Structure 1
Amino acid sequence: MELLTRRRFLQATGAATGGVLLSSGGGSAASRESDDTFTPEDAWPAPQGTAGRTRATKAAGPAGPYLEKRWTQDPASYLAGDLASESPVIADGVAYFGAIRSIGLHLGAMIAYDTESGGRLWRRDQVKAESGKTVPLGAPNTEPSVHDGTLYFGCGGTEQPDREEGLAGIYALDATSGETRWLRSDLSTSTVEATEGRVYFERGALDTATGETTWEVDEPGELLGVAGNTVYFRYWDRASETGSIAARDTATGEKRWQAEVTNQIVGTAATVDRLYVTSRTSVEDPSLTVYALSGTDGSVEWRSPAPTRGTAQTTEYTNVEGRTITVSRNPYISTPAVDESRVYVLTRSYGESYFSGPAMSEDDPFDSHSTLYAFDRSSGEELWRFETPIQAEAAPTVTDETVYFAGRYKKTDATYALDAETGTKRWVSGITNPGRILSPPSVVNDSLFLLVDELMGGAYLSKFEATECGESVPDEGARTVKNDPMSTTNQSTTITSGAPRSTSASANDVESLTSRETRVANAASAASTSDSSVQSIREYGWQSPLAFVGGLGLSAGAYLTNSSPLKSDD
């Protein structure tokens, strides 16, 4: 008998920054006829799931209690996009993978794999330009978006067709064959979102079928997402050194409102009623915040702090050679994930270097002080938080009843599954053949997909399914802290190493916890430190492989070109 989940029950019964307003236009901010919060259960059609970047799906997800790898593709030279927020793109039984063959020459490839077998279906590293000339595909800036049988993505490279360097522009490829449907080499963009017959980019919107311009504005902005009939952009005014978020009508580009932002934006998720933002102050001891802007007028509906647990400026651990490794505090907050009730974000106090040398000692593990928070979507009230020593790697993904996220523990890659409503740990599984950097997971039906980057060793895509036996991850000290609105005190469920792998906790595991006043939503005293930049935190490249290798210069690009398994067969 089919499991009746909370969402399906509600559907069956019919239930359905600091910001300063700068300007306002006409029109409704969001269509409430449909909610684009969730992907269908059999697809993950955009790097962050939906065009609104909500990282939510109707899929059930793997039930655990462990994960078994079904297949792994051959390593590519380099991965396109941002591993902190982007997941594998999947539609109609096909997984799509954007790769960079050469950084210096901006050479890229788009590859399609069968999700059942992992076999390669096609690879496209050359395209026909508008002139009819065959030219190298540019370097994809992100993983692609899939809409009505077509892949859409932006590429970096040269503006003029050249035999040596990849061609920049916005691409549309047939999702089945990889053949070019259209190409706009006169346009450039870092990201795209495709939905409802339009491809949105940093200046406007194109027709998905023809690539013709639907509307365009003079001022380029960073695309933040699309929900209902609203598309969101971020702008930066160099003259005044101020940043802002603007909402525009999806059909006309008319500006509805624009709100000033004072802190560094990390990530956003758009629904038909709000834009959810995670932010960080760029100061010596940064604070982390989650807030919600009204889709109607851009006003701040709520703001909640998401403090990290580790407060010491450094922490230490001993590696297998007996050397003491010091790790500096560098507070991190993820892009948000949003379902019909809650907003989920990951934070971390300490991030171990990927080049720190030999593995840590089993007797002295590294505690990153990672925390997954769940906030009420309407009020911003903290509902629960899950604390773990595992080093959280990227944004969470929420399914019908479960929140998944990936991390590392004692140099072992792992994936968590938590109950979305209560925060209780369902299971945590080690992952065989660990990589250096993990993406957030894509969840399609009962399978989980991850992008893994080995840095100079190549990047690849893997598929995982549930199994009864697997690699255990003890995660000593992990626990769930719940905020019970019916109680005068918060409650915490302590989960110790070796505890039964179940979805419920024993009454003996409940202990009272002192409430933190700083966690109250709409706190009037919430910090709003001015920042000279609203650049995305991902552009600082703390875990961006593109930023790392890009710093090595053109010689690295030339090396990757010559040694790449993606090198053209021609």
Structure 2
Amino acid sequence: MSPPSRRELLRASGVGLAALAGCTARDDSLDDAATRTTTRRTETTAQRTSETTTTTEQTTTAAEASECAPKSLPETGWPLPDRDPANTNYAPSATGPVEKPSARWQRTAEPPETDAYVEAGFTDPAVTSDRLFVGKRLLPGAESPMPEGNALHAYDRASGERVWTYPLGDEAPRALAVTGDAVHVATWSRLSAVGRTDGTRRWTFDPEEGVEAVTPTDERIYVTAGSGSVTALRSDGTAEWTASAGERLSARPAVYDGSVFVGTADGTLTALRASDGRERWSATLAGGDSDSDRLVTDVAVTDCRILAIASDDVVALDPDGLVRWRATGGYGTVSTDGASVYAGTDDGHLRTFSAAGGAVEWETFLGDRNHRRVDGIWTDPVVADGTVYVSARPDSLYSFEARTGRENWKLTFDSLAHSGKPVVADDDLFVSAGNVLAAFA
């Protein structure tokens, strides 16, 4: 089984440290606070450093934007970790809260009763039209074994009342996704399919090398293992095919237009045929002296561009695997609406590029110039109808205008807990922060 990714280790360090806005009651509101490098592209040697939002001329036409917009998006909700199988983090029909929101309901993850030190926290949620699904995971102390009490919870989306619980024992949930009538929850060693309405087990898949990531679609469920294999499962959990794609897979697979795109720890991006796992093409995106220097950690796909984070760079390829442009600068996340690419850095910059050519459209600095701590973009940017949402370390959630980068509002968590990915559905916004799950409106 492969070790946790850098992002997962960072997320785990914030689990259970504190609640939202310093509140343990469900109706407490959030406090506000004042808002608080360089990118080099292959097309130019010009370097830019910015602490405030700046804009440049738009380089993508309306026709190009329409042609390149992600296809096969869910009709509603946020059912997968990056919303759709192509990992775009794009919800064009959702608005989210236009004005600065307040918490509509909150739920707290409680640790089990034990003499050992244990913290509890929530995964990022998956949202459908009527329900919200979230994993409760436990984080024991360094000398303590993993206790029983990990679980998958289903909540009523409107009221926040718990509908059912599926116990996971001593297996902590890593991620979950909803397709059809099943919720798929992944732990380090197992993938379980659970009935969406009643929370009963349908089937489990236990690969010998463990589960690295999962991307379900209507046709198949694609599971990557720590050894570098990709397995396509049928809806009943039986394997249809297995393929090897590298020494270790380091990014959630993206599935788009008949291909499965997987990134490896040695800096390679490979496109497999979704029907049988045969390789279409493979491209080397990164080099370096260690695995941490070569990792491909994020992949998102549209009709016009395949986007990846490789060696902390944003790399844009055409559908045939040819690199079109690269942006360097410590990036860890990438999202797209087809026309623009939204990426966050480890030191707190959020930048938007033209998907066509890589020109910077706007950028803003969300970090803190205090060198005693490291601030950065904590999650993938989430792109809704004209709005971008992003969480930034250590304690903030932002809303920006997608076209200009103008800040709409900022929420500050009165704690050390890192907020998870803001999940937007219709005009609602859901986010986990440490041991608190909250719905905003």
Question: Quick check: TM above 0.5?
Answer: yes
Q: TM-score, normalised by structure 2?
A: 0.71
Q: CA deviation at 1:346?
A: 1.6
Whichever residue aligns with residue 226 of structure 1, its letter is V
Q: CA deviation at 1:434?
A: 4.7
Whichever residue aligns with residue 151 of structure 2, its letter is A
Conserved? CA contact 1:69–1:432, under 8 Å: no
Conserved? CA contact 2:303–2:319, under 8 Å: yes
Counterparts of 1:395 and 1:304, CA distance in 2: 17
Change (3 A) 1:272 1:73: same
Change (3 A) 1:72 1:302: same
Largest Rg, 1 or 2? 1
1:75-123 deviations in whole A, cap 9, x for unaligned?
2443466xxxxx4211131111112246534753111111100110110
Task: Tell me the SS of whatever aligns to 2:102.
Answer: strand
Whichever residue aligns with residue 341 of structure 1, its letter is A
Change (3 A) 1:74 1:266: same
Q: CA deviation at 1:45?
A: 0.7
Q: CA deviation at 1:433?
A: 5.6
1:422 match: 404
Whichever residue aligns with residue 172 of structure 1, its letter is A
Conserved? CA contact 1:65–1:429, under 8 Å: no
**Could you say which structure has the greater relative contact order, defined with CA pairs below 8 angstroms and 6 or more residues apart?**
2
Task: Tell me the SS of whatever aligns to 1:463.
Answer: strand
Task: Tell me the SS of whatever aligns to 1:125.
Answer: strand
* 1:277 is aligned to 2:302: no
1:181-330 to 2 correspondences below 5 Å: 181-186=202-207, 188-202=210-224, 203-218=229-244, 221-222=248-249, 223-236=252-265, 242-260=266-284, 261-262=286-287, 263-280=294-311, 288-296=312-320, 298-305=321-328, 307=329
Counterparts of 1:231 and 1:450, CA distance in 2: 28
1:96 match: 133
1:51-62 to 2 correspondences below 5 Å: 51-62=85-96
Whichever residue aligns with residue 319 of structure 2, its letter is G
Conserved? CA contact 1:346–1:395, under 8 Å: yes
1:400 match: 385
Counterparts of 2:215 and 2:66, CA distance in 1: 29
Conserved? CA contact 1:109–1:137, under 8 Å: no
Change (3 A) 1:429 1:214: same
Which of the residues 152, 166, 179 maps onto 1:124? 166
Conserved? CA contact 1:407–1:414, under 8 Å: yes
Which of the residues 155, 169, 184 maps onto 1:152? 184
Counterparts of 1:271 and 1:336, CA distance in 2: 13
Counterparts of 2:392 and 2:70, CA distance in 1: 30
1:345 match: 343
Counterparts of 2:136 and 2:202, CA distance in 1: 20
Whichever residue aligns with residue 103 of structure 2, its letter is K
Counterparts of 1:375 and 1:340, CA distance in 2: 11
1:5 match: none
Q: CA deviation at 1:348?
A: 4.4
Task: Tell me the SS of whatever aligns to 1:334.
Answer: strand
1:36 match: 71
Q: CA deviation at 1:15?
A: 4.7
Change (3 A) 1:106 1:243: farther
Conserved? CA contact 2:70–2:337, under 8 Å: no
Counterparts of 2:378 and 2:237, CA distance in 1: 36
Change (3 A) 1:94 1:435: farther
1:518 match: none
Task: Tell me the SS of whatever aligns to 1:144.
Answer: strand
Deviates more, 1:91-100 or 1:173-182: 91-100
Task: Tell me the SS of whatever aligns to 1:416.
Answer: strand
1:143 match: 175
Taking only aligned residues, the RMSD between alpha carbons, in angstroms, comes to 2.9
Conserved? CA contact 1:333–1:345, under 8 Å: yes
Change (3 A) 1:431 1:59: farther
Task: Tell me the SS of whatever aligns to 2:333.
Answer: coil
* 1:382 is aligned to 2:417: no
Whichever residue aligns with residue 235 of structure 2, its letter is A
Q: CA deviation at 1:66?
A: 1.2
Counterparts of 1:90 and 1:66, CA distance in 2: 21
Q: TM-score, normalised by structure 1?
A: 0.56
Counterparts of 1:106 and 1:257, CA distance in 2: 44
Conserved? CA contact 1:122–1:177, under 8 Å: yes
Task: Tell me the SS of whatever aligns to 2:213.
Answer: coil
Give aligned pairs, total.
346
Counterparts of 2:191 and 2:214, CA distance in 1: 8
Give the percent of matched residue pairs that are identical in Structure 1 and Structure 2: 22
Counterparts of 2:89 and 2:427, CA distance in 1: 16
Counterparts of 2:269 and 2:283, CA distance in 1: 5
Conserved? CA contact 2:367–2:392, under 8 Å: no
1:497-516 to 2 correspondences below 5 Å: none
Whichever residue aligns with residue 291 of structure 1, its letter is V
Task: Tell me the SS of whatever aligns to 1:66.
Answer: coil
Counterparts of 2:244 and 2:65, CA distance in 1: 43
Q: CA deviation at 1:448?
A: 0.7
Conserved? CA contact 1:303–1:380, under 8 Å: yes
Conserved? CA contact 2:262–2:299, under 8 Å: no
Q: CA deviation at 1:186?
A: 4.3
1:424-463 to 2 correspondences below 5 Å: 424-425=406-407, 427-431=408-412, 434=415, 436-453=417-434, 459-463=435-439
Counterparts of 1:49 and 1:396, CA distance in 2: 12
Change (3 A) 1:265 1:146: same
1:417-460 deviations in whole A, cap 9, x for unaligned?
211112222x223356655111120000001111111xxxxx23
Structure 2: runs of 5 or more not aligned: 1-61, 112-119, 288-293, 369-374
Q: CA deviation at 1:277?
A: 1.6
Change (3 A) 1:49 1:15: closer
